[in-house]
Amino acid sequence: MNNAASSFAKILREHRPVIGTWLGIPHSIVGETISQIGVDFVLADGEHGAVPPHKLLEILPATDRYAMPLVYRVPFNRPEYIKAALDIGVAGVMIPMVNSVEEATAAISTAKYPPGGTRGIGAWRASNYYQDGAGYRARANDETTLIIQIETGDAVRCVDAIAELKGVDVLYLGPGDLAYSMGIEPGLQHPLLIEAYKTVVAAARRNGVKTGIDVTSLDFVNEYVSLGIDFFTFQSDYTFILDGGRRAAASMRDCVRGAFQATIA
């Protein structure tokens, strides 16, 4: 197990906020550059992003260079995606659309070695090509992070039972999908949505796990922190390129215009 995975598991157990960003462009250069921006982890998106499991082979060496924990959101809650990502060596996996205790239990079983689960022993890259097979297996259950997404009304209704399951490290709110499942327009801080957040935070606290959310506006951060949310994702490689590029282009255009006007004044 690499140091990034160990350090990520450690900071999740500390009483402090954890901040990460999304990676949706499946390229090693993006992984290498985004690892240097000052976040606690990078979350590669295989559900709504263009990162299939095999692309992790290109991205992980780049993020490992800076000891940046790479978490992978699998496309679906299916063993082949979870096992592939863990065997390649990610620090953790995020499981989308977990709507029942049974679905959460299935994810845990796939992600954990016996006796906590049914994961097979073929962690080829994660164990440094089987050179540290026994050592990796001894540490993996404690050091491999499992993030369960709570993003429907059904999930909120059974969140206490999900949070009680051994092996869950983070309950991660999906604000857009959760709002939509409750008949609320995504992007609004509706009172019913806030109550759902409170329910998830309370379940997480009772079971010693973190509650996470994607921050779509910095205006929401104070409220999220006051609710007890302590695990955050914000923006992505896409938005960094678009926002940074727009600002840089506007600044350059202003400078050129100013210089040009000075020459003809």
For the annotated catalytic residues, the residue numbers are: 48
Which residues, 6+ apart, have CB-to-CB distance to 238 below 8 Å? 24, 25
> SS3 for 124?
coil
Looking at residue 166, what DSSP letter applies? T
CA atoms within 13 A on the CB side of 241: 10
DSSP string, 180-209: HHTT--TT---HHHHHHHHHHHHHHHHTT-
Residue in the structure block whose two tokens are 């990460």: 20
